[in-house]
Structure 1
Amino acid sequence: MPSHIALVGIGRMGTPLCGRFVRAGHRVTAFDLRPERQEAVRASGADWALSAAEAAAGADVLITVLPGPADAGEALTDAVFAALAAGAVWIDMTSNTPEAAAVPRARALAHGVDVLEAPMGGGPADAEHGLLRLFVGGDAEVRDRCLPLLESVTTRDRISHLGGPGTGYLAKLLVNLLWFGQAAASAEALLLGSRAGIDPGVLRDALAGSAAGSDFIRRDLSSLFAGDYLRSYGLGRIHDQLEAVTDAARDLGTPHELADAVLRLHRRALERFGPVDGELLAVALLEEAAGITLRA
């Protein structure tokens, strides 16, 4: 059945998602703190609200696609949850943390709103073409009820249900840890090979077909070789997400030596470049230390 969706957060990911929900036949009312996003919302066929509470008024689904945990905590007030229709569900697609999401989750439940977390893997192009990865955490019954809606933005085989509340957020953080760790390790290997006289492109091809191959080497290195440090996500937010992983490991008593090393590298990159956009700026820091670049 078509839903009345309140969509809060119309940025690089929220904009294509808004269009997909509309094309799937849902009624969408969107809000963003930036009034200039109204044009993109209306162009997609959705309605524009002047506040998150106004967007939520009478909606049976609230979807948040916000930059980070602090933004979600500030946006999701009691007034927003109180404005939703009876029996509504909140789906958080923000790259949140279990700890930060606990407060708005408690607010939602206090107002009788069911909660599902579904942080995303992928970029705006994946959102536009329905190729996102969703890392879902929450009650299985709520997940099953929301599956048709989630399939508006991806396919069922790309939806992973990790378990109860917090597991989806943590899984997304772990994906980020491994990706940024692979980026750093791959860059170190390529810089060493380059210094020893091996052409980086030749070494990349050799690694891609070996036991050390990864999606990062096969897919993302081409951007780096083109001089693109993937300026689509903020270095400050990357640092905070990596810090959340090491905090979780410390709290749960699991080893985190490598996670600490990845965090330290990105902290140094943040100190060097500032809170600018660039998912591969830690690699730029390694290039500076080596005195060479990996650009083709």
Structure 2
Amino acid sequence: MMSRIAFIGLGNMGGGMAANLVKAGHEVFAFDLSDAALARAVEAGCVAAGSAAEAAKGADAVVTMLPAGQHVAAVYGEQVMPAAGAGTLFLDCSTIDVETARTVSAQAVEAGFEMVDAPVSGGIAAANGGTLTFMVGGSAEGFARAAPILQAMGKVVVHAGGAGAGQAAKICNNMLLGASMIATAEAFVLARKLGLEAQTFFDISSKASGQCWSMTSYCPVPGPVPASPANRDYEGGFASALMLKDLKLAVEAAQAAGAPVPMATQAEALYQMFVGLGGAGRDFSAIITMLEGRSA
């Protein structure tokens, strides 16, 4: 069923997501502070809005893809909620802290709206291809309403629990991913220094107990996995600055919850160092270059 959807935040991820909603037959009113991003959305079939409030007015649902918690709180509190009609569904696909997600959701419910937090996994290629994974926090009713919209942008849509549960799942997953990538990179560096060829080590470990996604799907050395960013000089993929952001969110959440996360804390410190050396825009697997003593 076609809906009128407001889409706010048309960056590397949001642009492709909005375009897939258009392909699915929805009428998408889009807004971004970047004129260039908005122009690309219009080329993809979206209707340009002059502000977030203008996009939200008359919408059946509002989808946001924003950089951080403060942006989500401001956009919904100052623009979307005052402009949207009663009962409008809000879907925040940003990756933000759990506490802000829960706070904004509570404000939305109190104001008569339904809201879910639905952060994504899969990266830019999946956003463009409509194959994202969505981890969704919110009520059963909110999830039921959100699922058809999310399915137009992804291939896996999972209800993780109540408000904030989507964000919790996302940061726990990326905490594991960041730490496992560092361990995988360290293993390849040590293997090389011990005289093992990268392909030989991959052939063994990818079939042994050390295998993990960071090795078999996203290998940090060129050759063994042709699709991995290592074969493109670590361009594209998931930027190290974004991995650092997610690790910071995970460590902050762990501190608030009283959960010990020594591996995540060390991973955060290493990605902070890599970003400081100039690796912010490179794929997070490029941290192997720092471990090898090469420049970022």
TM-score relative to the length of structure 1: 0.90
Q: How high is the sequence identity, in percent, across the aligned residues?
A: 30
Q: For residue 153 of structure 1, what is the aligned residue in structure 2?
A: 153
Mapped partners of 2:229, 2:283: distance in 1: 11
Q: What's the secondary structure of 1:77's corresponding residue?
A: helix
1:163-209 residue CA offsets vs partner (Å, 9 max, x unmatched): 11111101111111111111100111111110011001211121111
Q: What is the rounded CA distance, in whole Å, between the counterparts of 2:275 and 2:192 in structure 1?
A: 26
Structure 2 counterpart of 1:282: 287
2:250 corresponding residue in structure 1: 245
Q: Is the 8 A contact 2:119 2:135 kept in 1?
A: yes
1:263 alignment partner in structure 2: 268
Which secondary structure state, in structure 1, belongs to the residue aligned with residue 217 of structure 2? helix
Deviates more, 1:104-113 or 1:204-213: 104-113
Task: Note closer, same or farther for the CA distance 1:264–1:122 as it changes in structure 2 (3 Å cut).
Answer: same
CA RMSD in angstroms comes to 2.1
CA separation of 1:43 and 1:146: change in aligned 2, threshold 3 A: same
Distance 1:292 1:50, change over 3 A: closer
Which of 189, 192, 197 aligns to 1:191? It is 189
Question: Aligned to 1:7, what secondary structure does the other structure show?
Answer: strand
Contact 1:81-1:107 within 8 A present in 2 as well: no
* Structure 1 CA distance for aligned equivalents of residues 123 and 229 of structure 2: 17
Question: Who is 1:115 aligned against?
Answer: 115
Count of residues paired in the alignment:
289
- Alignment check: 8 A CA contact 1:118 1:137 kept: yes
Is the aligned partner of 1:204 residue 2:206?
A: no
2:108 is the counterpart of 1:93: no
- Higher mean alpha-carbon deviation, 102-111 vs 191-200, is at 102-111
1:171 aligns with 2:169: yes
Residue 38 of structure 1 and its aligned partner are, at CA, apart by 2.7
Deviations 1:4-35 (CA, angstroms, capped at 9, x unpaired):
10000111111111111111111110000101
In 2, the alpha carbon distance for the partners of 1:225 and 1:197 equals 21
Give unmatched runs, 5+ long, in structure 1.
none
CA contact (8 A) 1:2 1:25 kept: yes
1:46/1:150 Cα in 2 relative to 1: closer, same or farther (>3 Å)?
same
1:51 aligns with: 51
Secondary structure (helix, strand or coil) at the match of 1:87 reads: coil
Decide whether aligned partners of structure 1 residues 16 and 37 sit closer, same or farther in structure 2, where only a CA change above 3 A counts: same
Which secondary structure does the structure 2 equivalent of 1:136 belong to? strand
What's the secondary structure of 1:192's corresponding residue?
Answer: helix
- Shift, 1:140, TM fit: 0.9
Alpha carbons 1:60, 1:89 under 8 Å: kept: yes
Compute the TM-score of the two structures, normalised by the length of structure 2. 0.90
User: Aligned pair in 2 of structure 1 residues 154, 274: CA closer, same or farther (>3 Å)?
Assistant: closer
The answer to whether the 8 Å contact 1:133/1:154 transfers is yes
8 Å CA contact retained: 1:116, 1:143: yes
Task: Give the gaps of 5 or more residues in structure 2.
Answer: 220-224
